Amino acid sequence: MREPITIYYNGQPIFAKNGELLSSTLWKNQIYKLNESYKMKRPRGVYCGFGRCDGCIVLLNGKRVQSCQVTVVEGMALEEDGS
């Protein structure tokens, strides 16, 4: 059984389970918009789920990461990618 932890998205605490995929955690917390399309500024989020589309990119310590390829750890601080 995975241990419950807290991570932060845009400064707000959200609940997660240690070691689960970040994209799953965001989805379970009803956070669907993770960034915007470059030209049209349309909302983007998890689409392919396996690292091909870049729809799930968020900022982790200022670096762009694919949330479907990262597991959560206690205290992780994320932001929506506005670039």
Q: What's the alpha-carbon Rg for the chain, to the nearest Å?
A: 12
CA 75: distance to chain centroid? 14
Residue 64 as a binder of ligand FES (CB under 6 A): the answer is no
Q: Give 3 or 19: the residue with its C-beta nearer to ligand FES.
A: 19
Q: Give 42 or 52: the residue with its C-beta nearer to ligand FES.
A: 52
**Nearest distance, CB of residue 58 and ligand FES, angstroms:** 10
Give the whole-angstrom CA distance, residue 2 versus residue 71. 12
Residue 55 as a binder of ligand FES (CB under 6 A): the answer is yes
Residue 32 as a binder of ligand FES (CB under 6 A): the answer is no
Question: Any alpha helices (H) in 1-83, and if so which ranges?
Answer: 22-28
Residue 65 as a binder of ligand FES (CB under 6 A): the answer is no
| End-to-end CA, the chain | 37
